[in-house]
Structure 1
């Protein structure tokens, strides 16, 4: 299925696990020495021989404890949700700076799952759900391992959403790169405008709480790079919930909404609800109250029971309710302007 190579062509394909594309390490069996999130950092791994922390030597990678007892058993694993699902062309596993603590063997498996499951739920799926991308293979310390997916193999044509890296039985890996061809969901293609974007004329008109950061961050350019580049409210101790309202660039028909909790790991909302507000003040349910995950880019198709031949009900604003509180890094509202919405923008121009 795979073959190691010194100068693989697959490196020309984008890294689908890249943090900048909303990739996230959603689960790890253990991260006693170095946290799992380091696996998909965009930078090259670095090493300071004099740097020690409360858990021992500091490594720029993912490192687990030493497996000592029979009751532990098995091997260590980390699961990465790809920022952009796609067909995998090759995988790079880098053990840079891990010399006496690298895993004797590594293996990589792929999964296709479009549901928003927690890391624990993904980890509990049976092995039969996973496709072997890299079978158990001897590893080296301080080395970049390249594995090309054979174009003629069954894995090359499959669309994957997650990969699992196994260290057999334990050790440390600095970086994981998953190069491949993006495969978009056609249901989310075709809309031409983010109606909420600040650059297109969207603006925040209401916010229940902005204790830690400004709510207009969520409609700013690009993706958030840290938690501080999103909207974070205070911890709610009483009843009710927090919300933020965006006045759209113009009246429009909404097709789908992206709500991104990237970098909000322990302070994301438990649930969210998205409501459209018409020019007359009527409220239209766009996305019913639903559970969301930490550190995840969620995409919701809008279901409008009043949708007619011309499309969903036109709205001029969208309110995002978070339950009971919690942070959002970005909010995108994709759709098209109505004639009235376009005229309003033209009049401003």
Structure 2
């Protein structure tokens, strides 16, 4: 299956020595491993994809293992990402680029313009005339993307799933930072910084690119040379929302992805990733939360989160929506302040009985600063959403 934010990353062995205080999954560790993982991605199959021969359309899909995919997809449509404009989308609409689901392929589904593809696909480029029928080396198509949440990009995945003979030869990604909500005209006139230089891509494959720049960005420009189709674009990194906006909000969900919260580690990601818990809105199905496998020991599952900043949590929501026969039985919440005693966890919510398919609202006494929280579930089971309502401290 293709790399996407809805796919689980490598599950953690519940019998290993990894614990809730480990540093596995932190942004620093992910950044350090990114370049090595990208370099180790299998490229033995070359750039050409075989024609579709029937059967499972993903059977020969080439997927890479990229450490940065554990970070938030800053362009996720569910966070507000959008494709604002493209110079061409004759065969397939630009909006498909940011759909959270893996790209699908339904053979022999033809519309008036050809095979219906789940991605962004442009027409075939041509040269200037009879004497020069081929496009030049600089001819390309482009799309402008607004990130759902501004941030620092650690890596990009350009997924050409199901584009076998019609994928681009090369791609490039540029970035800029603009305030407010600029339109295509302002973006086309902006100053752009390269994130991914012009690079070759493979067909029917997840093409991953580590990013060295640590500049905060708000928009991207994706270019493909000279033309072709791209199924999905994933932009993994660390959220950096506008601090003035957060200050104006006052009280907000300190764990939310859209405000800079992030999952650092978890005991298990077997059925669905824990980052689903801090997505915007209510869960839409059982697969839209965090669900671990059934435990057959005396342990329990947990997830550790980094909050948007150092703050005070005043109210907690634990939502088990859509988990009817597989909700967590009990939950407890702990906090940690890395600016105080970074190794000391203290209780925020004692072990509390949970009901299936229900929202549990809990008020917290006191006002102790936290930078991280750990949610423990007993013995296992699903959590749809976790909300930690509070405010940031001045520091």
The alignment's TM-score, normalised by the length of structure 2, stands at: 0.46
Q: CA deviation at 1:223?
A: 8.3
Q: Separation in 2 of the partners of 1:223 and 1:86?
A: 24
Q: Separation in 2 of the partners of 1:32 and 1:17?
A: 23
Q: CA deviation at 1:189?
A: 1.6
- Report what 1:281 is aligned to: none
Q: Separation in 2 of the partners of 1:146 and 1:137?
A: 11
- Report what 1:57 is aligned to: 115
- Cα deviations by residue, 1:141-183 (Å, 9 ceiling, x for unpaired): 1010011113xxxx2x200001111100100000000000001
Q: CA deviation at 1:85?
A: 0.2
- Cα deviations by residue, 1:263-318 (Å, 9 ceiling, x for unpaired): xxxxxxxxxxxxxxxxxxxxxxxxxxxxxxxxxxxxxxxxxxxxxxxxxxxxxxxx
Pairing 1:104–2:169 present: yes
Q: CA deviation at 1:124?
A: 3.6
Point out 4+ residue stretches in structure 1 off by more than 6 angstroms.
none
Long gaps (5+) in structure 2: 1-33, 42-64, 130-134, 253-279, 285-390
- Report what 2:77 is aligned to: 19
Q: Specify whether residues 223 and 134 from structure 1 end up closer, same or farther in structure 2 by C-alpha distance, changes over 3 A only.
A: farther
Match of 2:240 among 183, 193, 202: 183
Query: Does the 8 A contact of 1:27 with 1:123 survive in 2?
Result: no
Q: Separation in 2 of the partners of 1:224 and 1:168?
A: 39
SS at match of 2:168: coil
What is the root-mean-square deviation in Å for CA atoms of aligned residues?
Answer: 2.7
Greater percentage in strand: 1
Match of 1:147 among 209, 223, 233: 209
The alignment's TM-score, normalised by the length of structure 1, stands at: 0.51
Long gaps (5+) in structure 1: 195-220, 226-335, 337-349
- Report what 1:330 is aligned to: none
Q: Separation in 2 of the partners of 1:160 and 1:224?
A: 29
Match of 2:199 among 125, 137, 140: 137
Q: Separation in 2 of the partners of 1:117 and 1:178?
A: 20
Pairing 1:47–2:83 present: no
- Report what 1:37 is aligned to: 95
Query: Does the 8 A contact of 1:20 with 1:223 survive in 2?
Result: no
